[in-house]
Structure 1
Amino acid sequence: MTPLTADQVRGVWGTLLLPIEDDDSIAWGRLVDQVDTLVASGVDGVYAHGTAGEFHAIDEDEFDRVNEVLATRCEAAGLPFQLGGSHPATPVMLGRIRRAAAVEPGAIQVILPDWVPLNDDEVVRFVAGAAAAAGPVPLVLYNPPHAKTPVSPALLARVAAEVPQLIGVKMAGGDDAWYTAMAELAVDLSVFVPGHLLATGFARGAHGSYSNVAALSPSGAVDWQRLMTTDPGEAADVERRIGELFRRHIAPLQASGLSNPALDKFLATVGGWADVGLRLRWPASSAPAEAVQPARADAHRLLPELFPA
């Protein structure tokens, strides 16, 4: 696939979630079916090995097989795809980046080394090294709120200037001051923010989302993003109602100690668009099955726009 440029990384991207069997193996047939559903949903692209994809809980053979599944299906459909090259151990991460690059995705997502915080020079040095490992494939920096090293707009601008292969970022967003700084400093990057806050982010200059709303309803997330351009007021109201759904059903699960991968699989099960299942890889806890139906009822009541007939 042709490497993506920053202005091509836009819109709603769906994440690949790992269907896990009772014996902790990956259900490969269900994974293929999930990719096919995502490809047909209208999303702007699909990616693998983000937090929701449990990149930290798979071995290297499984990593390579997921890459093959996603690349084969997306290339056949002509749909852009990205691969995460992340791993808690930096040498393993560089190996993943090299092997992901050999599959020729549109971009590779990377995290910063995460055991100890990095200083600014170390951040630049790492991204430059990741870019060298990726060769001609561009990078997207994934800097979630729980990262040991938060990247400010000013540092991001320095990294982008010194490593032109960086084309985008995946971040939690921020307040008005953050969006203003990003618009002034990160002018050449694609900026993606959380799916459930995309209407707010889009209005402030964000370009899209690696979307947890697409985990709930891929086609509905696409329709909502289009609404942001045709009726921003209505799109903002949808965001408000997504927030209500999350307050009712996601926040309590999060407060109970469930991880983001568990919450994303819960959303997918509530949405019912693919046979993902609730189970996470050992030793992680999964969302309770009895929570699904009440959340599903509220999702359809609060957000009919996300569930077209």
Structure 2
Amino acid sequence: MRPLLADQIRGVWATLLLPITEKGEIDYARFADQLTYLAKAGVDGVYTNGTAGEFYNQTESEFDRVSALTAEISERYSLPFQLGCSHMSPIISLERLRRAVALRPSAIQVILPDWMQLSFSEICAFLEKMAAEAAPIGLVLYNPPHAKQVLSPKQWKELVSTGIPLVGCKVAAGDAGWYEEMQPVLERISVFVPGHRLATGISRGAHGSYSNVACLNPGAAVDWFHLMQSDLPKALAIEKRVLGFFEEAILPFITNQGYSNTAVDKLLAALGGWIPIGTGVRWPYRGVPEDEVSHLRTIGRKWIPEFIS
């Protein structure tokens, strides 16, 4: 797969969820089925080892097998793919990146080292090393709202001004003032925002999403993104209903019951019913019980029937 430039990373990219057996092992057959489905659903690309891919809870041999399987199937369908080489340890992340480069992904994702926060000079030193090792494959900084160190717009502007060859990022986004402050960044690299707020993001200059909404229904997520290009007011109206659904049905699992974002993304896939991933996550984390799905699906049909049949 050819490396993608910043202005080529656009649209709806689907996270590859990690199917877990009752014994706590990765079900590679279901993982492959998921990837094949996504290739046929029309997403703009896929990526491994985001939060929902449980990058923090894999052995190195598992990481290598997930990466190789993703590369094999994505190449078969000419589907752009990014390999997440994230790890809490910068050394392990670097080792993962060195092995992933050989698989020729469209881009490589990393997080900032996770045990102690970095100074700005340390952030630059980390990213410079990772980008140099990845070249000519571009680097995407995966910096969602639950990252230990979330960069501010001021830090992002400083970062892109250094000349470090980042091609993209995943961020939490913010209000109109946040987007205004991020304009120099939006002009330089691909900026992806949360899937459930993508229409607002597109209206303010964002380029796409590493999408939690694609967990729910990848085909509908793609259709919604296309609507943003042709009828943004209608797409924004759908976003209001998506947010209403998340507020009523999904956020309580995080705010009231303490489930992880990983567990919630797998719950979304179960609600969408497009692939039998299951709601289990790896020990010691909890997955949402599958007996919640039927009730939540009823709520979903009320708010967003386009996404939940």
TM-score calculated relative to the size of structure 1: 0.96
> Hey, what does 2:170 align to over in structure 1?
170
Q: Which amino acid aligns with 2:24?
A: D
Whole-angstrom distance in 1 between the partners of 2:187 and 2:34: 35
Per the alignment, residue 80 of structure 1 pairs with: 80
Q: After TM superposition, give the deviation of residue 92 of structure 1 in Å.
A: 0.5
Q: Which SS does the other structure have where 1:52 is aligned?
A: coil
Q: Is the 8 A contact 1:262 1:286 kept in 2?
A: yes
Q: Matched residues in 1 for 2:247 and 2:286: separation?
A: 20
- Partner of 1:179: helix, strand, or coil? helix
1:55-134 equivalences under 5 Å are: 55-134=55-134
1:276 equivalent in structure 2: 277
The 3-state SS of whatever aligns with 2:246 is: helix
Which structure 1 segments of 5+ residues have no match? none
- Does the C-alpha gap of structure 1 residues 257 and 109 become closer, same or farther in structure 2, counting only changes over 3 Å? same
Give matches, 1:129-144, under 5 Å: 129-144=129-144
In the alignment, the residues of structure 1 paired with residue 153 and residue 254 of structure 2 have an alpha-carbon distance, to the nearest angstrom, of 28
Q: Is the 8 A contact 1:224 1:306 kept in 2?
A: no
Helix, strand or coil for the counterpart of 1:53?
coil
1:89, 1:11 → 2: CA distance?
30
What is the CA–CA distance in structure 1 between the aligned matches of 2:150 and 2:254, rounded to whole Å?
22
**SS of residue in 1 equivalent to 2:14:** strand
Question: 1:157 Cα deviation (Å)?
Answer: 2.8
CA–CA separation in structure 2 for the residues paired with 1:138 and 1:163: 13
Which residue of 1 is the match for residue 305 of structure 2? 304
Amino acid at match of 1:184: P
What are the residue-to-residue correspondences of 1:202-213 with 2, within 5 Å?
A: 202-213=202-213
Q: For 1:145 and 1:244, how far apart are their aligned partners in 2?
A: 20
Other-structure match for 1:220: 220
Contact 1:127 1:159 in 2 (8 A): no
What is the aligned-residue RMSD (CA, Å)? 1.3
Of stretches 157-166 and 181-190 in structure 1, the one that deviates more from structure 2 is: 157-166
Q: Deviations over 1:165-207 (max 9, x none)?
A: 2011100001111101111344210000000000111101000
Distance 2:117 2:186 in 1: 22
Deviation at 1:126, TM superposition (A): 0.8
Contact 2:168 2:189 in 1 (8 A): yes
Quick check: 155-164 or 65-74, which moved more?
A: 155-164
Corresponding position of 2:259: 258
2:45 alignment counterpart? 45
Residue 198 and residue 87 in structure 1: after superposition, are their counterparts in 2 closer, same or farther (change >3 A)? Answer: same
User: Please, which moves more after superposition, 20-29 or 229-238?
Assistant: 229-238
Measured after TM superposition, the shift of residue 115 of structure 1 is 0.9
Residue 294 of structure 1 corresponds to which residue in structure 2? 295
**CA shift for structure 1 position 118:** 1.1
1:22 corresponding residue in structure 2: 22
Matched residue type, 2:190: S
Q: Which amino acid aligns with 1:198?
A: L
* Secondary structure in structure 1 of the residue aligned to 2:259: coil
Q: How many residues align?
A: 308
Identity %: 49
Tell me, in whole angstroms, the C-alpha distance in 2 between the residues paired with 1:162 and 1:184. Answer: 13
Contact 1:111 1:142 in 2 (8 A): yes
Contact 2:186–2:206 (Cα < 8 Å) also in 1: no
* Aligned partner of residue 233 in structure 1, secondary structure: helix
CA distance in 1, matches of 2:308, 2:298: 12
